[in-house]
């Protein structure tokens, strides 16, 4: 029942995103073409006849409802328009970039979750100690620093000063790989710094969440009972306390997934990483609106899907949520 309601609200939100994406350029002053071709750019079309022809080509002379219908149909069939800058289908551009973003986001999400759970549990277990305070303050500082600033610090240290890791990119340019292993190693080497940056900058919020929910679990009666039963400390900490502190963490995983994706947009720009964020950056510079819109749609869809999955996972872990 609940799953169905969640899925429904997911679809409604997705529809809102798609619709906003359609109406935004049409709400701009001037005609929609003005949004398509920036009047300040050098390739702005002044000839009214050409403009009319262009409008007809893009179907902008049809009634609004028909345009909307065509737009929806285009999205369903995977047509997101054409890039003005590269004259390629937007869908094709995005398909080339999406795996990189997913790789980066997925790695960081897994890594930061694992570290946050271990660190948060440890910190709560020794609450009030120096370790606890140091971890709490440190994570607050790192998670408040802008991601691109954290990233720059890592590039300077590991890339420019120590020269251990590549400065930028997703793989070595023009490299030809002899084996699958060589390819994996090269891509992995390029992934380390961006993934580390993203992990660090998303770690703080997760850590504080785990720590605080663990602290409140530790005060529960069942913990006292478990301790009175004489269970070993490890069982108490990981089996009883963390298992229960996990629930709020999973409930917030959706929000964290969204934060990780947006963080990735900045980090890719900084590291020249060939994902969606880099694509946004390149398109913003060239005022390539169809690409910006396409990226917005796909990123939104990814974030919303992550929300839905986290929600369903939460219901699976916590019977109380399932009943509600």
Partner 1 sequence: MGRRIGADLLFGLTVLTLIGATALLAPVLAPYDPRAFSGQPLERPSRAHLLGTNDVGQDILSELVYGARVSLIVALGAATGTVVLGALIGGFAGYIGGWLDGLLMRLVDGMMSLPRLPLFILIAAFIGAGVPQTVAVISLLFWPTTARIVRAQVQSLRQRGYIRMARQFGGGHLYVLTRHILPQMAPLLISGVVNAAGWAVAMEAGLAFLGLGDPTAKSWGLMMRFALNLPGLLLTDRWLWWLLPPGLCVTLLVLALTFVGIGLERHFHPRLVRRGR
**Which stretches of the chain bind partner 1, using CB under 8 A?**
9, 12-13, 16-17, 20-21, 24-25, 28, 35, 127, 140-141, 144-146, 148-149, 152, 155-156, 159-160, 167, 212, 215-216, 258, 261-262, 265-266, 269-270, 280-281, 284-285, 287, 289, 292-293, 295-296, 299-300, 303-304, 307
As measured in angstroms, the least distance from the Cβ of 61 to partner 1 is: 21
Q: Which is nearer to partner 1, 144 or 179 (CB)?
A: 144
**Minimum distance, C-beta of residue 156 to partner 1, in the bound complex (Å):** 6
Which residues are CB-contacts of 261 (< 8 A; sequence separation ≥ 6)?
101, 105, 299, 302, 303, 306
Cβ 212 to partner 1 shortest distance, Å: 6
Q: With respect to partner 1, which residue has the nearer C-beta, 238 or 296?
A: 296
Give the position of tokens 């929300």.
307
- Write the secondary structure of the chain as one string of H (helix), E (strand) and C (coil): CHHHHHHHHHHHHHHHHHHHHHHHHHHCCCCHHHHHCCCCCCCCCCCHHHHHHHHHHCCCCCCHHHHHHHHHHHHHCCCCCECCCCCCEHHHHHHHHHHHHHHHHHHHHHHHHHHHHHHHHHHHHCCCCHHHHHHHHHHHHHHHCCHHHHHHHHHHHHHHHCCCCCCCCCCCCCCCCCCHHHHHHHHHHHHHHHHHHHHHHHHHHHHHHHHHHHHHHHCCHHHHHHHHCCCCHHHHHHHHHHHHHHHHHHHHHHHHHHHHHHHHHHHHHHHCCCCHHHHHHHHHHCCCHHHHHHHHHHHHHHHHHHHHHHHHHHHHHCHHHHHC
- Smallest gap from Cβ 266 to partner 1, in A, equals 6
Which CB, 19 or 92, lies closer to partner 1?
Answer: 19
- Using the minimum distance from each CB to partner 1, give the nearer residue, 22 or 177: 22
For residue 79, report the phi and psi dihedrals to the nearest 5 degrees: -100, 110
- Copy the structure tokens of residue 33: 């073409």
Q: Which is closer to partner 1, CB of 53 or CB of 216?
A: 216
Nearest distance in Å: CB 12, partner 1:
8
In the complex, minimum distance from the CB of residue 188 to partner 1, in angstroms, rounded to a whole number? 22
Beta bridge partners of 82: 89
Q: Which is nearer to partner 1, 20 or 184 (CB)?
A: 20
**Residue with smaller CB distance to partner 1, 67 or 305:** 305
In the complex with partner 1, which residue's Cβ is closer, 103 or 215?
Answer: 215
The smaller minimum CB distance to partner 1, of residues 32 and 183, is found at 32
Q: How far is the CB of 111 from partner 1 (least distance, A)?
A: 21
Cα(201)–Cα(149) distance, integer angstroms: 10
Distance between CA atoms of residues 99 and 51, nearest Å:
37
Nearest distance in Å: CB 299, partner 1: 5
Shortest separation between residue 25's beta carbon and partner 1, angstroms: 6
């Amino acid at each position: 029942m609940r799953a169905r309601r969640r899925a429904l609200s997911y679809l409604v939100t997705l529809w809102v995103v798609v619709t906003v994406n359609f109406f935004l350029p049409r709400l701009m002053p001037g005609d929609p073409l003005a949004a398509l071709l920036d009047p300040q750019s050098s390739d702005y079309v002044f000839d009214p006849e050409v403009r009319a022809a262009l409008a007809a080509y893009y179907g902008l002379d049809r009634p609004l409802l028909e345009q909307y219908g065509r737009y929806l149909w285009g999205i369903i069939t995977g047509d997101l328009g054409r890039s003005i800058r590269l004259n390629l289908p937007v869908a094709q551009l995005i398909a080339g970039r999406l795996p990189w973003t997913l790789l980066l986001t997925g790695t960081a999400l897994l890594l930061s979750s694992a570290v946050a759970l271990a660190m948060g549990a440890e910190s709560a277990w020794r609450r009030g100690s120096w370790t606890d305070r140091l971890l709490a303050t440190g994570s607050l500082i790192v998670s408040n620093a802008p991601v691109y600033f954290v990233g720059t610090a890592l590039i300077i240290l590991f890339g420019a000063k120590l020269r251990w890791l590549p400065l930028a990119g997703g793989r070595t340019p023009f490299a030809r790989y002899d084996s699958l292993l060589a390819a994996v190693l090269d891509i992995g080497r390029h992934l380390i710094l961006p993934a580390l940056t993203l992990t660090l900058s998303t770690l703080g919020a997760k850590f504080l969440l785990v720590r605080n929910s663990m602290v409140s679990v530790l005060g529960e009666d069942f913990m006292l009972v478990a301790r009175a039963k004489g269970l070993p400390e490890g069982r108490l900490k990981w089996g009883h306390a963390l298992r229960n502190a996990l629930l709020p963490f999973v409930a917030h995983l959706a929000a964290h997934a969204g934060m990780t994706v947006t963080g990735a947009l900045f980090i890719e720009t900084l590291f020249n990483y060939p994902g969606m964020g880099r694509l946004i950056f390149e398109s913003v510079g060239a005022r390539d609106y169809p690409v910006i819109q396409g990226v917005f749609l796909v990123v939104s869809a990814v974030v919303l899907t992550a929300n839905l999955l986290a929600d369903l996972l939460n219901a699976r872990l916590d019977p109380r949520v399932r009943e509600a």
